Amino acid sequence: MQIAKNTVVTLKYSVKDPDGNVVDDGHHPLVYLHGGYDGIFSAIEEALHGKNKGENLTLKLQPEDAFGDYDENMVLIEDRTLFPENIEVGMSFERVTEDGEDEILYRITDIADGKVVVDGNHPLAGVALIFDLTIDDVRDATAEELSHGHVHGPGGHHH
């Protein structure tokens, strides 16, 4: 079966950075609803369209096609007193934007001298990524999957 709009695609994959470092070993297959449902990067979806089960692809995505360019304005230095006592480097928290619309996930990247450095960039922002993909399965989406806009696990609806 060929990958087309409203098919469910199962991919075996791995992701590396340009230096060959493994970013994601693809331990679990990636399953997504094909056809503009935002379940996968659009550049990958476009490259997979029309392909068949068993085909392999290697795709290099530039940062703007993956997790975006690194934005230095997303790095903030905050007073330590604004945080709970038990914070550590690597912890994440959500912060609602001033207009109350969007939540941004920030990571703590440094704690020193009464200050906390937080970064709202995705950890892979600014990094090109190389995807090695094998199309493991393609099937028609169920009516329920189409109405919900995402793939459901075996036995039905799971969130």
Per-residue confidence at 17, pLDDT binned at 50, 70, 90? very high
Across the chain, what does the average pLDDT equal? 92
Q: What is the pLDDT of residue 144?
A: 93
Per-residue confidence at 158, pLDDT binned at 50, 70, 90? very low
Would you say residue 100 has pLDDT above 90? Answer: no
Which domains occur in the chain, in start order?
7-67+126-148 (3.10.50.40), 72-119 (2.40.10.330)
Q: What is the pLDDT of residue 159?
A: 47
DSSP labels, 3-28: --TTEEEEEEEEEE-TTS-EEE---S
As given in the structure block, the two tokens for residue 42 are 């659009």
3-state secondary structure of 37: coil
CA distance 147 to 144: 5
Q: What is the pLDDT of residue 118?
A: 96
Radius of gyration of the chain (CA): 19
Residue pair 139/3 in contact by the 8 Å Cβ criterion = no
